[in-house]
């Protein structure tokens, strides 16, 4: 994209502008002079049109045999694989994370699309023996209807695919509203689905901000809402969905802990903490923003970790050798700055970082130094609240019991990890940590598409993404009884 392009909404297979004619700019967070494109700034009228298109397409799509729906997804996965590097470069431009990470983001979309293509032939139900003779019974999945998807900016192709592909293979139609910071990656994904043979109106997209998102989740014709974002916004989505008894899936915040025990391989633990804390500039719901360290290894780990953090090469994610990119926008940069100030006021010891990055290479981007605080306590806001930036807190503890207590002390329950050579410690921690994901001798990030993804407590509302559990979000169970006895047989009575 040598020149800035104008992008419109996708409604009923047509590219249409926002009803108001308004647009917004999408700029590179590493270089604000790089205008990626102008996108439709949508409102309730645009959402209503998109939902109407999804409703019109629903009868034809839901009766298309599921294996045929799966074949369309399979073709889309093949196309994504062929365009992987192009889409990754687009994503680095609009989101900022380094190219190896955006290649991984696109690969997640490829994996999920292949996986759900297979579910076109594997939407298994149950068959069970009846209480009566000459009676057969089974259960089958049915699509909910129209899905409303609201997706974040940090994984702008992976997370849309987590939601779209299971919804589609089940026979739902949908409207997606991507984050206004990263709409191009969703455009690229939808263009692939269109080329793969997806009928018009099955997938619709409106771009814009909170007004469009609120209109989508509250639209009475939308049967299921799937949202990934902050806990505060997720609570509003839940309340809006509850008023209309919608199905609602929420994937929200995290304040993940990486526990390093006294018998850990410290070199491996430092590697994991560096990737967990500063991958995607800390802008992951699974980021390892808390490192809980046994006091006997605290000093050695802290020295090695800080030395490595100081050496991280920060810059434009498309440049060779860059290890960490910018924050997504100025607001996120200001949020990180505010938490660094809070940490200092709380008495945490700033070990490195703590400032915006200056110099010609960083002047036009939202860059912040990899930041480490030492001598933190579990009571500090720095250790309890989600920052979503390259800020890591080091918390000393005296035992595994204390590490687990600290790990569970926050309102979130997404991911946790332990570094230890003791299998008993590992099993105790994986059993007692109240999280949806747990790692042993690996950081808190790195989920794969063929296991369920999601968390406990204020991280979510009990549903899971990825794997076959994603099908439960977008389907209803129908139990079917077939009595071929020729007589009335009354369950539990005869």
Catalytic residue among 285, 323, 352, 465: 285
- Tokens 């609570």 — which residue? 235
Q: How far apart are CA 89 and CA 105, in angstroms?
A: 11
Residue 290, CB-side half-sphere exposure with 13 Å CA sphere: 35
Q: Is 285 a catalytic residue?
A: yes
Q: Which of 94, 119, 251, 323 is catalytic?
A: 251
The question of whether 251 is a catalytic residue gets the answer yes
CA triple 326-331-337, angle to 5 deg: 75
Kindly report the number of other CB atoms within 10 A of residue 247's CB atom: 19
Q: Do 185 and 87 touch, CB atoms closer than 8 A? A: yes
Whole-number Å distance between alpha carbons of 472 and 466: 10
Catalytic residue IDs: 251, 285
């Amino acid at each position: 994209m040598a020149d800035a392009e104008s992008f419109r909404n996708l409604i009923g297979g047509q590219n249409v502008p926002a009803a108001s004619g308004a647009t917004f700019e999408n700029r590179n967070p590493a270089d604000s002079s790089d205008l990626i494109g102008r996108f439709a700034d949508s409102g309730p009228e645009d959402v209503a049109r998109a939902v109407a298109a999804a409703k019109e397409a629903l009868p034809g799509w839901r009766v298309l045999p599921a294996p045929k729906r799966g074949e369309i997804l399979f073709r889309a996965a093949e196309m994504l694989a062929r365009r992987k590097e192009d889409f990754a470069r687009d994503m680095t431009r609009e989101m900022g994370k380094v190219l190896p990470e955006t290649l991984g983001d696109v690969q997640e979309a490829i994996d999920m699309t292949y996986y759900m293509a297979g579910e076109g032939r594997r939407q298994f139900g149950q068959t069970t023996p009846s209480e009566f003779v000459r009676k057969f019974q089974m259960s089958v999945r049915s699509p909910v209807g129209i899905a409303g998807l609201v997706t974040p900016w940090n994984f702008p192709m992976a997370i849309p695919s987590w939601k779209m592909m299971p919804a589609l293979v089940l026979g739902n139609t949908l409207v997606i509203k991507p984050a206004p910071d990263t709409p191009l990656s969703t455009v690229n994904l939808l263009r692939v689905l269109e080329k793969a043979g997806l009928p018009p109106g099955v997938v619709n997209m409106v771009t814009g901000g909170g007004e469009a998102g609120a209109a989508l989740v509250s639209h009475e014709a939308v049967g299921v809402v799937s949202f990934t974002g902050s806990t505060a916004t997720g609570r509003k989505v839940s309340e809006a969905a509850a008023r209309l008894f919608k199905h609602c899936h929420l994937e929200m915040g995290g304040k993940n802990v990486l526990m390093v025990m006294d018998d850990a391989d410290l070199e491996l633990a430092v590697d994991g903490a560096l990737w967990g804390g500063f991958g995607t500039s800390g802008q992951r719901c699974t980021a390892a923003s808390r490192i809980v360290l046994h006091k006997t290894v605290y000093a050695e780990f802290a020295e090695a970790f800080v030395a490595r953090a100081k050496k991280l090469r920060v810059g434009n994610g498309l440049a060779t050798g860059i290890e960490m990119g910018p924050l997504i926008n100025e607001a996120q940069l200001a949020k990180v700055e505010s938490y660094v100030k809070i940490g200092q006021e709380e008495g945490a010891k700033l070990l490195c970082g703590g400032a915006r990055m200056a110099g010609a290479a960083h002047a036009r981007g939202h860059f912040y130094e990899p930041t480490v605080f030492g001598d933190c306590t579990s009571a500090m806001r720095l250790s309890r609240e989600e920052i979503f930036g390259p800020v890591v807190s080091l918390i000393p503890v005296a035992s595994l019991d204390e590490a687990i207590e600290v790990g569970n002390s926050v309102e979130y329950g997404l991911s946790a990890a332990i570094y230890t050579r003791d299998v008993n410690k590992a099993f105790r921690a994986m059993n007692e940590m109240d999280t949806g994901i747990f790692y042993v001798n690996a950081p808190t990030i790195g989920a794969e598409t063929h296991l369920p993804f999601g968390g406990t407590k204020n991280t979510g509302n009990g549903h899971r993404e990825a794997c076959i559990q994603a099908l439960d979000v977008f389907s209803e169970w129908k139990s079917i009884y077939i009595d071929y006895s020729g007589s009335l047989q009354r369950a539990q009575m005869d």
